[in-house]
């Protein structure tokens, strides 16, 4: 009897304790859940967008100006003035230096005076010819009239109508008219000779002027092409000789990149293939050009092919002889690219965190992340190609990913 009472008391005590436990547990659910709810991690996220995946090869090459010209004087002389500074951009024909004129200017002045004198003589001879032509015309008219009078006098004297005196006078008039015509024609011939001589002197004087002007112009050293002035190796007062290099002009509005491409890529090479120049620090694209030359010969020792790519350099950012990093873009295909900051690795497996909505229907529920394994392709600058695992339109976390775990709540990072 006592034993039964003890068993019954024990059962009742256990039931009471269980009831208290259930009541206590049911009365505090929010407090327990609030205490155990994890804090949302602030992250940045972005939508996965389709992009262009490039097949590239990286090279180191040297930039070469399209044209470099050494500037040399064509005559010997002393430098009078230097008109430009190293680094100046000049156009074709821009004066760079001048040499002291010495005897060239007086020679030009003398030749110019001789030319003016020859031209004045020709003008005088031309005017004289015009006067003489008028005299010839008058003399020819006089001869014609005298000839008519002579023929009439001849007929009349034969008829006895006039005497010999009148006939002799008509004959003398004809002879005098013919003499005047001969003299006028001689003066015309002399005028023609004078004109010819004047024209000859003009040609000779013009040649002397041209030669003297060339000598004067050679005292002014001009830029042979448009470009940038290099180092100037002389100063005012120095004596320079014919053919001495005094500076260079570099045409660097366009530059060629020289690359040695492995011969096994020869089937893929073609003119127009895009090439990018990369900033060595940021790895960002600083210029884009295209292949414009492929050597027909292979370097037998290196088994490489010389390739040139042309780049515009209107902003002057690139320099002749500059060593640069370059990427030859062999092909471009559509694909998915994600920032490297969005990828974590466990061994050889890559993961991204996809932003998803929680299954809870609570309005205030935070988005959570799903750790998604992905198959990675090539590295494209600061982005990975993703071959499998995510789709365009999904949102992925791009910051604080080392703090994330599968199912962790997140919030936008300010």
- Whichever domain contains 236, its CATH number is 2.40.50.100
For residues 262 and 160, state if they share a domain: no
Percentage of the chain exceeding pLDDT 90 = 43
For residues 94 and 120, state if they share a domain: no
Q: What per-residue confidence (pLDDT) applies to 364?
A: 58
In a domain, 118, yes or no: yes
Residue 267 has pLDDT above 80, yes or no: yes
Q: Across the strands, what pairs with 64?
A: 256
For residues 111 and 170, state if they share a domain: yes
Residue 4 has pLDDT above 80, yes or no: no
Residue 11 has pLDDT above 50, yes or no: no
In a domain, 267, yes or no: yes
For residues 224 and 189, state if they share a domain: no
For residues 169 and 232, state if they share a domain: no
In a domain, 152, yes or no: yes
* CATH number for position 127: 1.10.287.620
Model confidence band, residue 343 (pLDDT cutoffs 50, 70, 90): very high
Model confidence band, residue 315 (pLDDT cutoffs 50, 70, 90): confident
In a domain, 116, yes or no: yes
Burial level of 99, CB count in 10 A (0-12/13-18/19+)?
A: buried
Residue in 340, 330, 334 with CA at minimum distance from that of residue 381: 340
**Cα(first)–Cα(last) distance of the chain, in Å?**
74
For residues 229 and 82, state if they share a domain: yes
For residues 184 and 315, state if they share a domain: no
Task: Find the mean pLDDT for residues 314-323.
Answer: 85
For residues 109 and 167, state if they share a domain: yes
Q: What per-residue confidence (pLDDT) applies to 217?
A: 63
Q: How far is CA 381 from CA 278, 326, 342, in A?
A: 10, 12, 14
Instruction: Write the CB contacts of 135 (distance below 8 Å, at least 6 apart in sequence).
Output: 184, 187, 188
185, 190, 196, 202: CA torsion to nearest 10: -140
Residue 103 has pLDDT above 50, yes or no: yes
Q: What per-residue confidence (pLDDT) applies to 147?
A: 92
> Which residues form the domain of 168?
104-217
Picking from 333, 351, 377, the residue at the C-terminal end of a domain is: 333
* CATH number for position 280: 2.40.30.170
Length of the chain: 414
In a domain, 141, yes or no: yes
3-state secondary structure the chain: CHHHHHHHHHHHHHHHHHHHHHHHHHHCHHHHHHHHCCCCEEECEEECCEEEEEEEEEEEEEEEEEEEEEECCCCCEEEEEECCCCCCEECCCCEEEEECCCCHHHHHHHHHHHHHHHHHHHHHHHHHHHHHHHHHHHHHHHHHHHHHHHHHHHHHHHHCCCCHHHHHHHHHHHHHHHHHHHHHHHHHHHHHHHHHHHHHHHHHHHHHHHHHHHHHHHCEEECCCCEEECCCCCCCCCEECCCCCCEEEEEEEEEEEEEEEEHHHHHHCCCCCEEEEECCCCCCEEEEEEEEEEEEEEECCCCEEEEEEEEECCCCCCCCCCEEEEEEEEEEEEEEEEEHHHCEEECCEEEEEEEECCCCCCCCCCCEEEEEEEEEEEEECCEEEEEECCCCCCEEECCCHHHCCCCCEEEECC
For residues 91 and 108, state if they share a domain: no
pLDDT in tens, 298-310: 999 999 999 999 9
Q: Which residue has the higher pLDDT, 184 or 15?
A: 184
For residues 259 and 197, state if they share a domain: no
Q: What per-residue confidence (pLDDT) applies to 356?
A: 93
> In whole numbers, what is the pLDDT of the chain averaged over residues?
84
Residue 1 has pLDDT above 70, yes or no: no
In a domain, 176, yes or no: yes
Model confidence band, residue 167 (pLDDT cutoffs 50, 70, 90): confident
Strand order in the sheet with 95-99: 220-222, 95-99, 77-82, 239-240
Model confidence band, residue 16 (pLDDT cutoffs 50, 70, 90): very low
- Tokens 């690795």 belong to residue: 345
For residues 124 and 210, state if they share a domain: yes
In a domain, 327, yes or no: yes
Residue 6 has pLDDT above 80, yes or no: no
For residues 188 and 147, state if they share a domain: yes
Picking from 333, 363, 396, the residue at the C-terminal end of a domain is: 333
In a domain, 201, yes or no: yes
pLDDT in tens, 198-217: 888 888 888 888 877 766 66
> 97, 246 in Cβ contact below 8 A?
yes
Q: Give me the number of domains the chain comprises.
A: 3
């Amino acid at each position: 009897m006592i034993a039964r009472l003890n068993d019954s008391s024990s059962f009742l005590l256990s039931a009471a304790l269980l009831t208290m436990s259930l009541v206590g547990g049911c009365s505090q659910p929010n407090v327990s859940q609030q205490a155990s709810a994890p804090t949302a991690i602030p992250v940045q996220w972005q939508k996965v967008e389709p992009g262009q995946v490039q097949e590239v090869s990286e090279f180191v090459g040297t930039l070469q100006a399209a044209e470099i010209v050494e500037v040399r004087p064509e005559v010997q002389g002393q430098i009078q003035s230097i008109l430009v500074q190293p680094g100046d951009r000049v156009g074709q024909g821009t004066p760079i230096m001048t040499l002291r004129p010495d005897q060239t200017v007086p020679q030009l002045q003398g030749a110019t005076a001789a030319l003016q004198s020859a031209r004045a003589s020709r003008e005088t001879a031309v005017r004289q010819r015009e006067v003489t032509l008028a005299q010839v015309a008058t003399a020819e008219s006089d001869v014609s009239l005298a000839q008519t009078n002579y023929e009439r006098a001849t007929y009349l004297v034969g008829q006895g109508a006039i005497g010999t005196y009148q006939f002799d006078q008509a004959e003398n008039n004809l002879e005098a008219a013919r003499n005047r015509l001969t003299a006028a024609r001689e003066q015309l011939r002399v005028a023609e000779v004078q004109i010819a001589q004047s024209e000859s002197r003009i040609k000779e004087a013009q040649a002397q002027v041209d030669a003297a002007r060339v000598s004067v112009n050679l005292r002014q050293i001009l830029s042979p092409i448009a470009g940038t002035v290099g180092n100037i190796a002389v100063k005012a007062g120095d004596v320079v000789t014919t053919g001495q290099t005094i500076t260079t002009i570099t045409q660097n509005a366009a530059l060629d990149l020289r690359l040695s491409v492995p011969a096994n890529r020869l089937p893929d090479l073609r003119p127009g293939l895009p090439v990018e120049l990369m900033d060595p620090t940021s790895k960002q694209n600083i210029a884009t050009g295209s292949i414009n030359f492929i050597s027909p010969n292979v370097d037998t020792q290196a088994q490489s092919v010389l390739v040139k790519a042309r780049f515009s350099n209107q902003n002057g950012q690139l320099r002749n002889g500059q060593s640069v990093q370059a990427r030859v873009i062999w092909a471009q295909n559509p694909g998915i690219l994600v920032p490297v900051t969005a990828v974590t690795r466990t061994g050889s497996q890559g993961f991204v965190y996809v932003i998803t909505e929680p299954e809870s229907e609570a309005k205030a529920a935070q988005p959570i992340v799903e750790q998604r394994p992905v198959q990675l392709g090539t590295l494209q600058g600061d982005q990975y190609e993703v071959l499998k695992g995510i789709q365009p339109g999904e949102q992925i976390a791009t910051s604080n990913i080392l703090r994330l775990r599968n199912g962790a709540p997140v919030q936008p990072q300010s």
